[in-house]
Amino acid sequence: MAKSEKIKIIGISGSPRNKNTNYMLKTVLDATGCLYELILLKDKNIKPCLTCGGCFHSHKCVVNDDMQDLYGKMLDSDIIIFGCPTYFANVTALMKNFMDRCLPLYLSEGLKDKKAALLAVGNFKKGEVRFLDNFDAEKAMQTLAGRKILEEPVKKCLDIMNFFCTQHMGMKIVGSVLAINGNSQSKENELINLGKKLICKK
């Protein structure tokens, strides 16, 4: 299938690795059938917000780093897909730093009404961490209480990205997918369906 050049889509990854989060992003992006760019925040030089007030009236950030390029790409896009692993029921430092630097876009309402999708993954695989060696995630998934324990932190990560997109940026969330136990491949069908949904005209 030929890639569409009409819809501009970018994916933004807040992961410091190239594993579950990026797999989820690539699966959704590929499913759109459109040309896209996957932006890895781990490879970008993005300094923290200085809270200098330089963007309060100009709506332009005074810090000269890779974020300047990302501002233009986000403004030029039709759809933005945000993906992040869960760190202590929150987004990663990479993603939070990126969000903080989006203050000029909040003030200018530059992303208002753009489509967005959210992806989050969390929890360790069995055997990854020593003190969790005796924790049976599959058994826990069989009970409502166990599933809640595993899903709740990842939902909080999604909630933070959702609040950022909707309440601060005024974006429209088309859908979201969360994966637990480090098993992003189990969500392949959901990810593909989300990618297709993103480019629907409705």
Q: Phi and psi for 82 in degrees, rounded to 5?
A: -105, 130
Quickly tell me which residue has 């136990």 as its tokens: 181
CA angle 52, 169, 30 (to 5 degrees): 120
Q: Phi and psi for 85 in degrees, rounded to 5?
A: -75, 160
- Please state which of the ranges 10-14, 35-39, 105-109, 133-137 shows the lowest mean pLDDT: 133-137
Integer Cα distance of 123 and 137 in angstroms? 9
The answer to whether 29 and 193 are in contact (CB under 8 A) is no
Helices (H) and strands (E) in the chain, counts: 8, 5
Residue type, 62: V
Which residues are CB-neighbours of 101 under 8 A, at least 6 positions away? 46, 47, 48, 49, 61, 63, 67
E strand spans, 58-144: 79-85, 115-122
The predicted-structure confidence for 146-166, as pLDDT tens digits, reads as follows 667 788 999 999 999 999 999
Integer Cα distance of 11 and 23 in angstroms? 11
pLDDT band for position 134 (cuts 50, 70, 90):
low
Integer Cα distance of 86 and 106 in angstroms? 24
DSSP 8-class letter at 103: H
Which among 89, 81, 47 is positioned nearest to 64, based on CA atoms? 47
Residues above pLDDT 70, as percent of the chain: 84
At the top level of CATH, the class of 4-192 is alpha beta
Average pLDDT over residues 164-183: 93
pLDDT band for position 50 (cuts 50, 70, 90):
very high
